[in-house]
Structure 1
Amino acid sequence: MEDRGSARGGRRKYGPHFSTALNRLGYYLYGYRHFSSRIKGGHTNNKIRISTKPIRAISDDLDILVAFDQESIDLNSHELRPGGVVVADAKFNPTLPDGVDARLFAVPITAIAEELGTSLMKNMVASGASWALLGLPLEVFNKAVEEEFGRKGPAIVEKNVEAVKRGAEYVLELAGGPLEEFRLEPADGRQKLFMIGNEAIGLGAIVAGCRIMSAYPITPASEIMEYLIKKLPKFGGTVIQTEDEIAAATMAIGAGYAGVRAMTASAGPGLSLMMESIGLSGMTETPLVIVDTQRGGPSTGLPTKQEQSDLNAMVYGTHGEIPKLVIAPASIEDCFYDTIEAFNMAEKYQVPVIVMTDLQLSLGKQSCEMLDYEKIPIERGKLVKDAPPLEPNELFKRYEFTEDGVSPRVLPGEKYGLHHVTGVEHDEAGRPSENAQNRQKMMDKRLKKLKGVYIREAIRVDAPHEAPDLLMIGMGSTGGTIDEARQRLAADGVTSNHVTVRQIHPFPADLLLPYLKSAKRIVVLENNATAQLAAQIKLHCGFADNIRSILKYDGTPFLPSEVYKACKELN
């Protein structure tokens, strides 16, 4: 088989060894973790999809469900395809609910682990059982175990390898050998990265030259902070955990003013607290990079669930009017490259840049191709290093009126660079000014900075048809799901094009218009209740009568089958 889906259920975090070993073999992987918002307890499962081809969506169903408790079987067994398998811990006397067409293999997972010294190894036993059913070579898995536990000594490695072996042997005896219908075709063996979006953002920040991150922990953004806590000091940088998101944003602005590339990251509630600071960045024309990892709202909402409902807040949230960029990565690679571009754009245009992800992209662990570090530009814009001498009592024109709206920028301490910085309206030297003519000129100067400015691939297009039956539009993590739904629609004779909007603000209307005009019907897919992306398209492009929305806001990602069914109903 080319494509398999499995899940681990229970109240234990499933270890990385299973996925690491599959990645080593060259398979493409897509993982998604469903976990409770509680500090302790609550049902958790981790789904991993395995394929010989690139994948960017969770699957509709499961082949193998590994359960550490009966609740996992009760809650997740309905996702099993007919003939699927449940590998369950014999400790809780597992049973299948009525109507579930699956085979149950009760393996003494906990008993084997305890016999080897600790119940903590139950994940290794379960992993060995899953690995064996797929007919994969144990030596590859054992190599991953050795790398993970090698620092703890050979005795620990040996016990974990034995746990994997016993789990594999026990389930193979129950099943009569590997399950041929689950056997995977050989992978290409090529080296790939396997990471979550937040790790890719952190790596991108380091490569971009970021050396300060100020942030307050919040799901699902905390992994960016945790990644940089480990990595940034190796490059002379630091991470500062602030008392709140207001302090985090203003500290990043201060670092940016001093010339250090700095960032912060949060989710919807934290973004709300940063709004005044975003305005300060816009008014003082100080670079600022913010990552918003969207989750279910409003208020505390659904902290650990998928949603894309912060779009309006990012575009319209600040008081007053300032230029800012909102960009939306759509893949793990995008998370890396777009973070670098965010830092470049923030300095080039002296504006706040918001990188908009969502929980599925931020925390979903996925395969991605090797990153190209040779094609990464660093652009610092109009940073003046040798300011010309000033006349007596003259100040540097930090906010000089220029043709493109971007003024020269100096760092503190620059000879002949003395100027005022204030959050109130000001003249070219930064001195407070309420002069009406100056106010209008300053507003015009700031607002024209980003006219016609687009990031790399402001929209990403797959348009094989000149006049498709459907134009499907999405953002963030929805792209892979849309593409799988399109394949099913094509089998039914429905032609479709796909556009992923990657620059949310300023909206790339002129780039999108040709594809809107050519389509018979337009469908916009988003994880919110009020069709925020569709509203942007209608506002900037029109076509309100021809746009239909497919919305999902129950906290779970779209499934390909759901999108396919909704599109069929539209036709």
Structure 2
Amino acid sequence: MISQLSWKIGGQQGEGVESTDRIFSTALNRLGYYLYGYRHFSSRIKGGHTNNKIRISTKPMRAISDDLDILVAFDQETIDLNAYELRTGGVVVADAKFNPTLPEGIDARLFPVPITSIAEDLGTSLMKNMVASGASWALLGLPLEVFNKAVEEEFGRKGPAIVEKNVEAVKRGADFVLELAGGPLEDFRLEEADGKQKLFTIGNENIGLGCVAAGARLMAAYPITPASEIMEYLIKKLPKFGGTVVQTEDEIAAVTMAIGANYAGVRTLTASAGPGLALMMEAIGLAGMTETPLVIVDTQRGGPSTGLPTKQEQSDLNAMVYGTHGEIPKVVIAPASIEDCFYDTIEAFNVAEQYQVPVIIMTDLQLSLGKQSCEALDYDQIKIERGKLVKDAPPLEDNKLFKRYEFTEDGISPRVLPGEKYGLHHVTGVEHDQEGRPSENSVNRLKMMDKRLNKLNNLYIRDGLRIDAPHETPDLLIVGMGSTGGTIDEARLRLEKDGLSTNHITVRQIHPFPTEQLTPYLEKAKQVLVIENNATAQLASQIKMHAGYGEKIRNLLKYDGNPFLPSDVYKACKELN
């Protein structure tokens, strides 16, 4: 028996690939397996090759596998594009309709199944996804009753007749392939899982849940891949808590609406991707100048311009840190796991209000949309911290206003909500004095700039560096961000077996950069490899600028639209040593 395997289904976008993957993985989740998925899809509604790859394991993991055990193909293109991933002895379950063939040199077992014909016999070719699922499920020797339960949940709203037909499609697919193969494949039998059902979700949904838990009650946003699922999640959830989602005409309207709502005291967010973030830059400067809390989620994708809207990239770092004109205090945090997406969202709202600054949550497409198992969330960790929000402001002296931008020792001024008695003050995007009145006085300008910029001097978010450093002086320190963490950890297991000592740090606080915390690990490492999905080594540049050690730092960059595989990291590390 084996402890893990990889399964992939592919075909033309719009012909049921995603629903097949969803039901297949839901059934596996019911059995208690850990899952990690990656979806390759085109930037169009229908047509173009798409595939979903699911890694199934009895133990936690956070990376796509290098190879593939089972490929389910709805067309020959799926075989041609993906067969190279198959391990020796792998399996292809293909629709017999297109007379499938394996490319030359591929050592795999091909099972042609009349997937479309079986579905059409049952009344509609739309059920071919269930035929294919039943066939691949049966080869693993897994109980059909568990799969059928997932089918019932998927189609139950359409009535018992539809459920019955889909269950029959699963059975016929299973029966056909078992007769063809002579029974379940013994070399593909999975070890029994722990039976504990995990959360099975995407990062965007955990961000949405984090928004609800943090007390956010308004989202203003414009739909864009790969951020739209946050909006879709909150459209369903926020009304249950007295909140709402507003779809604006563009990202400029979204961010300015969010600023206005936060000024009024409602925790509000907006979410977008690189093109939308570019449109928000002037308004982010307004939030910084007026010291208004603001939370933005940037789900990175391939750029520039429209670029690769459905592919992986981590190339917005510089835009998030430096994009606004002028100089404002700003926080950029990068969740590194699906659990982080929940907790970091809550922290983002707290930091935004405590420091009265824009906070950008930086994710990437793989973390945002890659569906995976998630450990149970600890709701006891939820804390709502609103900072210096003043209630019952003291009476004002004659002709005086509330000192909304008062010079304080920590640089953070008292904040009042509109309508607060004795809280009257000016708000403007031009430079201003302590009461908010416009001011071009040079002394005031210096003091206000220093006040705003210095209030983040001691900011260090929870777990700003995720550190796994078992070695005092490692041969190699590997540094990454976002979704690369699990891939790095998997490569390290192989490296350690080869006798190469490695430490691993995931940078989660991008700005202000955690220089003091990172420097000791850079100093002790013999070499440093920084891994990131962009062409210009943006994270490595931050490290060099803030901490130095440029002579030790090497880059592993990937910007072809695909996430890193463990083998990518392993090979790069071996080449350095």
Unaligned 5+ runs, structure 1: none
Deviations 1:464-483 (A, max 9, x none): 11111110000000001101
Pair 1:178 & 2:184 matched:
yes
Report whether the alignment pairs 1:291 with 2:297: yes
Q: Does structure 1 residue 408 correspond to structure 2 residue 409?
A: no
Q: Distance in 2 between matches of 1:566 and 1:519?
A: 17
From 309, 331, 334, give the equivalent of 1:328: 334
Which of 509, 527, 532 matches 2:515?
509
Match among 236, 259, 277 for residue 230 of structure 1: 236
1:231 to partner: Cα distance: 1.3
Paired residue secondary structure (1:540): helix
- TM alignment of 1:64-75, pairs within 5 A: 64-75=70-81
- For each residue in 1:161-192, what CA deviation from the matched residue of structure 2 results, as whole angstroms up to 9, or x when unmatched? 11111111111111111111111000111231
Supply the distance in 2 between the matched residues of 1:156 and 1:40 (Cα, whole angstroms): 24
Report 1:69-468 matches (<5 A). Answer: 69-468=75-474
Report what 1:53 is aligned to: 59
Q: For 1:150-171, what per-residue CA distance to the aligned partner results, in whole angstroms no more than 9, with x for missing partners?
A: 2222111111111111111111
Kindly, what percent of the aligned residue pairs are identical? 82
Alpha-carbon contact 1:90-1:106 (below 8 Å) kept: yes
1:8 aligned onto 2:9: yes
CA distance in 2, matches of 1:513, 1:568: 24
Residue 44 (structure 2) aligns with: 38
Once the two structures are superposed, what CA deviation does each residue of 1:73-105 show, in whole Å capped at 9, x if it has no partner? 111111111111100011111111111111110
Structure 2 residue identity aligned to 1:505:
H
CA distance in 1, matches of 2:187, 2:9: 20
CA distance in 2, matches of 1:149, 1:38: 25
User: How far apart are residue 303 of structure 1 and its match?
Assistant: 0.5
Mapped contact 1:295–1:302 kept (Cα < 8 A): yes
Q: What is the distance in 2 between the residues matched to 1:452 and 1:491?
A: 40
1:292 alignment partner, SS class: strand
Indicate the SS of the match to 1:460: strand
Letter in 2 for 1:2: S
Instruction: State the secondary structure of the residue aligned to 1:405.
Output: coil
Larger CA deviation: 419-428 vs 114-123:
114-123
**Over residues 196-222 of structure 1, what are the superposed CA-to-partner deviations in whole Å (9 max), with x where a residue is unaligned?**
111111111011111111111111111
**How many angstroms apart in 2 are the aligned matches of 1:296 and 1:149?**
35
Whether the 8 Å contact between 1:232 and 1:239 is mirrored in structure 2 is: yes
* 1:349-385 CA-partner distances (Å, limit 9, x unpaired): 0000000000010010010101111220000000011
- What TM-score do the two structures reach when normalised by structure 1? 0.99
C-alpha separation between the residues in 1 aligned to 2:489 and 2:187? Answer: 25
Equivalent AA in structure 1 for residue 3 of structure 2: E
Does the 8 A contact of 1:382 with 1:407 survive in 2? yes
Aligned residues: 571
Question: Partner amino acid for 1:458?
Answer: G
Q: CA deviation at 1:14?
A: 2.5
Deviation per residue, 1:314-346 (Å, 9 max, x gap): 001111111110000011000010001000100
Post-superposition shift, 1:146?
A: 1.5
Q: Deviations over 1:528-561 (max 9, x none)?
A: 1110000101111110000011111111011111
SS in 2 for 1:213: strand
How far the C-alpha of 1:39 sits from its partner, in A, is: 3.5
Paired with 1:14 and 1:279, the residues of 2 have a C-alpha distance of 40
Aligned to 1:86, what secondary structure does the other structure show? Answer: strand
Cα drift, residue 224 of structure 1: 0.7
Q: The residue matched to 2:551 in structure 1 has which SS?
A: helix
| Alpha-carbon distance, 1:392 to partner | 2.2
What does residue 560 of structure 2 align with?
554
CA distance in 1, matches of 2:123, 2:465: 54
Letter in 1 for 2:486: G
Shift of 1:35: 0.6
SS of 1:21 mapped into structure 2 = helix
* Partner Cα separation in structure 1 for residue 272 and residue 485 of structure 2: 23
Q: CA deviation at 1:40?
A: 2.7
Q: What is the CA–CA distance in structure 1 between the aligned matches of 2:555 and 2:485, rounded to whole Å? A: 15
| Aligned match of 1:520 | 526
Determine the C-alpha separation between the residues in 1 that align with 2:336 and 2:519: 20
SS at match of 1:545: coil
Partner SS state of residue 48, structure 2: coil
Q: Secondary structure at the match of 2:52?
A: strand
- Please give the secondary structure, in 1, of the residue aligned with 2:18: coil
Partner SS state of residue 494, structure 2: helix
SS in 2 for 1:105: strand
The letter of the residue matching 1:6 is W
Q: Indicate if the aligned counterparts of 1:191 and 1:370 stay in contact, CA closer than 8 A.
A: no
CA distance in structure 2 between the aligned counterparts of 1:210 and 1:143, rounded to whole angstroms: 35
Instruction: Provide the aligned C-alpha RMSD in A.
Output: 0.8
Partners of 1:387 and 1:415 within 8 A in 2: yes
**4+ runs deviating over 2 angstroms:** none
Give 3-state SS (helix, strand or coil) of 1:464's partner. Answer: coil
CA deviations over 1:201-257 (Å, ceiling 9, x no partner): 111101111111111111111111111111111111111111111111000000000
Distance 2:292 2:433 in 1: 16
Offset of 1:274 from its aligned partner? 0.4
> Which shifted more, 111-120 or 555-564?
111-120
1:391 Cα shift? 1.6
- SS in structure 2 at match of 1:191: coil
Q: CA deviation at 1:121?
A: 1.2
Match of 1:46, as an amino acid? N
Name the amino acid aligned to 2:201: M
Q: What SS does the aligned partner of 1:73 have?
A: helix
Q: Match for 2:10: what amino acid?
A: G
Distance in 2 of aligned mates of 1:148 and 1:340: 31
SS at match of 1:265: strand
- Shifted more, 239-248 versus 12-21: the winner is 12-21
Mapped contact 1:14–1:123 kept (Cα < 8 A): no
Whole-angstrom distance in 2 between the partners of 1:216 and 1:121: 34
Gaps of 5+ in 2: none
Cα drift, residue 38 of structure 1: 2.6
| Contact 1:346–1:353 (8 Å) recurs in 2 | yes
